[in-house]
Chain A
Amino acid sequence: MPKIIVEVMPKADLLDPAGKAVANALQRKGNAEITNVRIGKRIELHYANTPTDADLQAAKQIAADFLSNGVIEDVVNVIVEN
């Protein structure tokens, strides 16, 4: 299935409570070398055919306008995966 993958992360300077909770659990488990965890989202857009450049541009727009909120998140990656 041809896909476009969109990856969204909470902004670097914002507290990520979910990541912090996971980091605390990992450190309790003895993984002292892991200093921090941040949790984002991977969103797959599925296509019937291999996405064109126009599809990729459209997906980037969708990622910026709807799949992320620029106040709290950054789109870190939008790529075609065949």
Chain B
Amino acid sequence: MKIGVVTFPGTLDDRDAARAVRLAGGEVVKLWHADADLHIVDAVVLPGGFSFGDYLRCGAIAAQAPVMESIIDAANGGLPVLGICNGFQVLVESHLLPGGLIRNENQHFICRDQKLIVENVDTAWTNGFKLGQEITIPLKNGEGGYIADEETLKSLEGDGLIAFRYSEVNPNGSVNDIAGLRNERGNVVGLMPHPEHAVEPGFGPDTPLAMRSGVDGLTFFTSVLNQVVNS
């Protein structure tokens, strides 16, 4: 199973995303923003960071990159795509997911282990979770406040397109505690927190069992591998 991990100028978490793919049992294909060729991958991860310095708006310039034209086409054809943090912002700016992300309501950059509720498991990236499951993965953003107009929110809620909600604490003022979304087909998922930082014991969030033992993020990557194998 080949999973492409895209690097834009200013991407930070491509290596961690690649590591997560490998730990889940997948093969990593490095994709470059200026190369429109997706090299026959079975899925794509848009990692976190500050693509193109977040000039104009977070993810706005990255959304215009040659590789994104191919990814938008492929995503519309059903290719699984996961956008993490800046990658989520790129998905929103690419109109693969609706709404927008603005500066955190509290004006602070927030870095914490964040509890989330899994709101939808009918997607390429969440099928290994249980509906309503509480997971903990790191969150680190300055512009993670999710917003959308009333009509969009109504359809997100009504059509079950919310993939994750913040639990206990809403760290950035996102409407309806939205932490992540899915598209109608379920192949595209985007979220602000970072599953790729919670994939290996010793390097994840603390759990009641042991410090840094949290690996809830690994399920994103095993989910997509399962889906690709079964399809």
Contact = CB atoms under 8 A, between A and B. Distances in A.
In the A-B complex, the 4 residue pairs with the closest CB atoms: A71-B100, A72-B100, A17-B107, A17-B103
A69 interface: yes
Interface residues on B, range: 10 to 19
B104 interface: yes
Interface of B: 56-57, 60, 64, 93, 98-100, 102-105, 107, 147-149, 173
Nearest to B107: A17
Nearest to A18: B103
Contacts, number: 33
Interface string A45-82: 00000000000000000000011010111000000000
B17 to A, nearest CB: 25
A14 interface: yes
A72 B147 contact: yes
A73 B58 CA distance: 13
Contacts of A17: 103-105, 107
A66 B99 contact: no
A69 B173 contact: no
A21 interface: yes
Interface in A24-61: none
